[in-house]
């Protein structure tokens, strides 16, 4: 019996060829990476030109082709595969067929639709990368609808939602999963995981399972584990790193992590973790979208309750664990969350609590007794994601939970004796008064003496209170109630955008303050570029302007992301949609 590596060790020319055609067939031509990148469950072609063809057909009939992945490949773990060249499917699910024409051999190789993903060697002939295949009906990540594959696998940018349940904001995010270096970083993330370091062959073998891979990614995107991609920080002090709100995409983060020998990038918060995780998932072929859950609960003890304690003076002594949470679609089935099947793997109870936990507020009264108020409605509102094929918000709350009541209505129970109903009157504007109606119903036959006490305060997006005290000195400008700043970046892209042709984008933003804005920046990202320009100062009521030239390298619909940063106004974001022609 001959192995192909022995039989063909002196080809006159070798191409793990047809890269362009193979990659086109496998929807990987958009990767800005050299080499063969294919998807499992789908054949690819390589050709070999030989110097000698003596008895070649007879030798081919007895030959085998090998493929292997990981540092310690083994047939027993499915990381080392051998295939005859007769086109028959092996027990491993792989197959290979050889055809001879003159001095040229064509090898048609079809990986199993359940093969582990990653870097492979094909005998001594060359290397290729194998990805999940949402186009293959036999792959567990299969998506039947073309528009869903285009949105959740191929789209390189998207929308993230933030703010709060009644004032939803949004901004663009550059996933950039096909940008240079991103796939390399994504594969390195798998190799830097604790699972891989503990048992490399077992880890590589389990990479056939997208649930296993997403759990590894979830652990590695944050720096709680060794060599994680992002360090989180919520203190407001981002010295030594980047303010999380300044990031506009995943590409720079992943490149920085990879090029720094896996040193965690500073800093991220929930939407940044989610954006990076979504990029890596899409790069590996796992369909993924971002979800924002408003009034999201963080259940730390697994009892599906969020406890808040309020002292007799009305002061909160333990803040509630609520934040705007952005999540990649994960390994726990969404249906399990909706029906409350908390036995389903993985982390079902935690995710269920994020959208369905009860908030229990314990009040310590003057007589020393404690009373609980139970709120079953607030948690999990306006669960949002970007719509398929358009920049509109899609409400997916119904996929995660059953309707519990109107969002503006809160119903509480106090020891089953009193009913408290709270109802507001629409949006609350910064600097203006608001009205809150409270109705208390006595459910007993006895007369009750009731004392109502209200507490309010500033709070960050993650539910932590804002304890910062601001002093206003004489001579400083103050903003009267109702005069909140509305700052816009005006973006103008001139000419038609074509691959390989430079385009001009003009940016301008007006300083609304009577004070100078020091240390300002404009930067843009998207359409295969990242560029920034520093503007030292912007005078009172003056307009900051900048010009950028960019040259698209790929056709299609893309977003050009724009950000204006200043120490006084923070980070202002905008974007425009571009249609780039060939």
Q: For residues 85 and 373, give the distance between their C-alpha atoms in angstroms, rounded to a whole number.
A: 71
Task: Give yes or no: residues 107 and 186 share one domain.
Answer: no
Closest CA to 394 of 291, 281, 274: 291
Task: Give yes or no: residues 203 and 102 share one domain.
Answer: no
- 521 belongs to a structural domain: yes
- 212 belongs to a structural domain: yes
Report the predicted TM-score, pTM, of the whole model to 2 decimal places: 0.78
- 182 belongs to a structural domain: yes
Task: Give yes or no: residues 110 and 229 share one domain.
Answer: no
- 368 belongs to a structural domain: no
Question: Domain tally for the chain?
Answer: 3
In degrees, rounded to 5, the angle at the alpha carbon of residue 302 between the alpha carbons of residues 301 and 306 is 70
Task: Give yes or no: residues 126 and 179 share one domain.
Answer: no
Closest CA to 250 of 277, 286, 285, 220: 277
- 562 belongs to a structural domain: yes
The CATH number of whichever domain residue 218 belongs to comes to: 3.90.260.10
Task: Give yes or no: residues 50 and 116 share one domain.
Answer: yes
Low-confidence ranges of the chain (pLDDT < 50): 1-14, 16-17, 299-330, 406-415, 430-431, 462, 472-485
Q: Residue 49's CB: how many other CB atoms inside 10 A? A: 14
Task: Give yes or no: residues 194 and 105 share one domain.
Answer: no
Q: For residues 315 and 317, give the distance between their C-alpha atoms in angstroms, rounded to a whole number.
A: 6
The pLDDT value recorded for residue 256 is 97
- 325 belongs to a structural domain: no
The pLDDT value recorded for residue 30 is 92
Query: At which of 288, 311, 329 does a domain end?
Result: 288
The pLDDT value recorded for residue 285 is 96
Closest CA to 327 of 217, 207, 406: 217
The pLDDT value recorded for residue 427 is 59
Q: For residues 145 and 135, give the distance between their C-alpha atoms in angstroms, rounded to a whole number.
A: 9
Task: Give yes or no: residues 182 and 127 share one domain.
Answer: no
Task: Give yes or no: residues 106 and 210 share one domain.
Answer: no
The CATH number of whichever domain residue 499 belongs to comes to: 2.60.40.10
User: Whole domain around residue 259: which residue ranges?
Assistant: 175-288
- In three-state secondary structure terms, 253 is helix
Closest CA to 327 of 244, 396, 405, 229: 396
Backbone angles phi, psi at 506, to 5 degrees: -110, 135
- 363 belongs to a structural domain: no
Task: Give yes or no: residues 206 and 118 share one domain.
Answer: no
Query: At which of 238, 254, 288 does a domain end?
Result: 288
Task: Give yes or no: residues 126 and 8 share one domain.
Answer: yes
Query: At which of 250, 268, 288 does a domain end?
Result: 288
- 301 belongs to a structural domain: no
Task: Give yes or no: residues 119 and 211 share one domain.
Answer: no
Task: Give yes or no: residues 219 and 123 share one domain.
Answer: no
Q: Residue 38's CB: how many other CB atoms inside 10 A? A: 24
């Amino acid at each position: 019996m001959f192995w192909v590596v022995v039989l063909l060790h002196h080809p006159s020319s070798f191409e793990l060829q047809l890269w362009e055609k193979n990659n086109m067939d496998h929807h990987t031509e958009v990767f800005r990476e050299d080499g063969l990148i294919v998807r499992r469950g789908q054949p690819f072609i390589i050709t070999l030109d030989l110097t000698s063809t003596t008895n070649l057909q007879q030798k081919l009939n007895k030959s085998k082709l090998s493929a292997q992945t990981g540092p310690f490949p083994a047939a027993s773990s499915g990381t080392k595969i051998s295939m005859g060249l007769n086109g028959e499917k092996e027990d491993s699910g792989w197959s290979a067929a050889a055809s001879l024409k003159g001095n040229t051999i064509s090898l048609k190789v079809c990986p199993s639709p359940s093969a582990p993903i990653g870097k492979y060697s094909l005998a001594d002939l060359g290397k290729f990368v194998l990805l999940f295949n949402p186009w293959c009906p036999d792959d567990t990540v299969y998506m039947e609808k073309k528009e869903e594959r285009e949105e959740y696998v191929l789209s390189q940018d998207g929308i993230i939602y933030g703010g709060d349940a009644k004032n939803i904001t949004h901004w663009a995010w550059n996933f950039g999963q096909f940008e240079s270096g991103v796939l390399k970083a994504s594969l390195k993330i798998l190799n830097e995981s604790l699972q891989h370091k503990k048992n490399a062959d077992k880890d590589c073998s389990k990479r056939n399972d997208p649930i296993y891979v997403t759990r590894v990614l979830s652990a590695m995107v944050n720096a709680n584990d060794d060599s994680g991609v992002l360090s989180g920080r919520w203190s407001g002090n981002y010295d030594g790193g980047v303010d999380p709100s300044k990031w506009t995409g995943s590409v720079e983060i992943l490149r920085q992590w990879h090029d720094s020998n896996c040193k965690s990038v500073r800093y991220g918060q929930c939407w940044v973790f989610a954006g990076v995780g979504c990029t890596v998932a899409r790069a590996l072929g796992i369909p993924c979208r971002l979800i924002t859950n408003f009034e999201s609960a963080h259940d730390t003890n697994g009892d599906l309750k969020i406890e808040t304690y309020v002292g007799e003076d009305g002061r909160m002594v333990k803040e509630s664990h609520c934040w705007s949470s952005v999540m990649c679609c994960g390994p726990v089935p969404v249906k399990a969350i909706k029906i409350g099947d908390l036995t389903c793997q993985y982390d079902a109870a935690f995710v269920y609590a994020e959208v369905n936990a009860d908030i229990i507020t314990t009040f310590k009264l003057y007589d020393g007794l404690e009373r609980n108020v139970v709120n079953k409605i607030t948690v999990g509102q306006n669960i949002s994601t970007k719509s398929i094929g358009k920049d509109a918000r899609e409400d997916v709350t119904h996929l995660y939970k059953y309707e519990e009541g109107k969002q503006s209505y809160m119903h509480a129970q106090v020891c089953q004796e009193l009913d408290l109903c709270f109802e507001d009157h629409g949006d609350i504007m910064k600097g203006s008064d608001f009205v809150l109606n409270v109705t208390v119903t006595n459910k007993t036959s006895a007369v009750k003496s009731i004392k109502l006490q209200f507490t309010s305060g500033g709070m960050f997006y993650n539910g932590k209170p804002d304890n910062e005290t601001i002093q206003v000195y004489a001579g400083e400008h103050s903003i009267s109630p109702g005069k909140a700043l509305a700052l816009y970046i005006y973006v103008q892209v001139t000419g038609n955008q074509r691959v390989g042709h430079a385009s001009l984008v003009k940016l301008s933003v007006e300083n609304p303050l009577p004070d100078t804005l020091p240390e300002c920046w404009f930067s843009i990202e998207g359409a295969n570029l990242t560029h920034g320009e520093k503007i030292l100062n912007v005078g009172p009521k003056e307009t900051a302007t900048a010009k950028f030239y960019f040259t698209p390298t790929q056709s299609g619909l893309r977003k050009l992301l724009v950000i204006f940063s200043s120490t006084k106004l923070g980070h202002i974001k905008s974007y425009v949609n571009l249609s780039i022609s060939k």
